[in-house]
Amino acid sequence: MGSDVTYSSYLDLDRILAAQHPASGAHDEMLFIIVHQASELWLKLCIHELVAARECLIADDLRPAFKMLARVARAQGQLIQSWDVLSTMTPHDYSTVRPHLGGSSGFQSAQYRMMEFLLGGRNPDMVAMHEATPEVAGALRAELGRRSIYAEAVALLARRGFAIPAEVLARDHADGWAFSPEVEAAWAEIYRDPEAHWDLYELAEKLVDLEYHFQRWRFGHLKTVERIIGFKKGTGGTPGVPYLAGVLKQAFFPELLSVRTAL
């Protein structure tokens, strides 16, 4: 069975390796394209793992979820590492590439937005730019109709007997997660007595890990962008670095951050 399978056919390398189309003649454009493409592949893996991890949370099956969340953190490590490679790109080469980018920008990465939505960082306005590809807009909108990983974690706390208000559990999933003092109090109970709630404690720390890595990615992006384009506007139409500095303030799991102060 499968004797005609080759390394190249199994991995569909003909297509993957034929998908780089430098347009500018700048030497560094190959780097620019490959870092973006590799990042999208890692994002694909992160989404695959996060979707499955959420199913495990729903089923109260935490051990496999931990394995998947740990893997996401490692994949994020690869994403973060890519800034070290990309930051070897010079402003001169980037300025040669930039006219060929038109209005395209990582801002339009549907997978990046999906990952944010999955974790709980949700801004429904971010779907509009994907309307030209209805299946992409549809998938993002469908995600906004579901509980995020974090909302599922909070639902799990309620099932385990923590006092989570009914209105927190019944929230509209389309919006970003708003801080709830009762949710912070539940996490505080867990953090004060890890032995008694070991799996929830571990879940909390796995989530904190993901957010920590997400922020490191954002910071690395900001610093790379600053180094390459300074304070020029983004090709996606935002003010550039100031926009990226703004998103650094967004927290996916506000109570997991604030609980540290409360302890």
The contact set with ligand HEM (CB under 6 A) reads 35-36, 39, 86, 89, 94, 105-107, 109, 112, 221, 224-225, 228-229, 234-238, 240, 243-244, 247
Structure tokens at 94: 């980037």
Residue 148 or 224 having the CB closest to ligand HEM: 224
In the complex, minimum distance from the CB of residue 39 to ligand HEM, in angstroms, rounded to a whole number: 4
In the complex, minimum distance from the CB of residue 231 to ligand HEM, in angstroms, rounded to a whole number: 10
In the complex, minimum distance from the CB of residue 1 to ligand HEM, in angstroms, rounded to a whole number: 37
By Cβ distance, which residue is nearest to ligand HEM? 234
Residue 57 or 118 having the CB closest to ligand HEM: 118
Inter-residue contact 39 to 110 (CB < 8 Å): no
Report helix angle 254-262 to 198-229, nearest 10: 110
**Cβ neighbours for 151, distance < 8 A, ≥ 6 positions apart:** 120, 171, 173, 177
Residue 40 or 209 having the CB closest to ligand HEM: 40
Residue 190 or 210 having the CB closest to ligand HEM: 210
In the complex, minimum distance from the CB of residue 179 to ligand HEM, in angstroms, rounded to a whole number: 20
Residue 235 or 256 having the CB closest to ligand HEM: 235
Residue 62 or 228 having the CB closest to ligand HEM: 228
Distance (Å, rounded) from C-alpha 201 to C-alpha 187? Answer: 8
Give the distance from CA 98 to its chain's centroid: 25
Phi/psi region, residue 19 (left: phi>0; alpha: psi -120 to 50; beta: rest), is alpha
**Cβ neighbours for 118, distance < 8 A, ≥ 6 positions apart:** 47, 50, 51, 54, 143, 148, 149
In the complex, minimum distance from the CB of residue 20 to ligand HEM, in angstroms, rounded to a whole number: 14
**Cβ neighbours for 220, distance < 8 A, ≥ 6 positions apart:** 80, 83
In the complex, minimum distance from the CB of residue 15 to ligand HEM, in angstroms, rounded to a whole number: 20
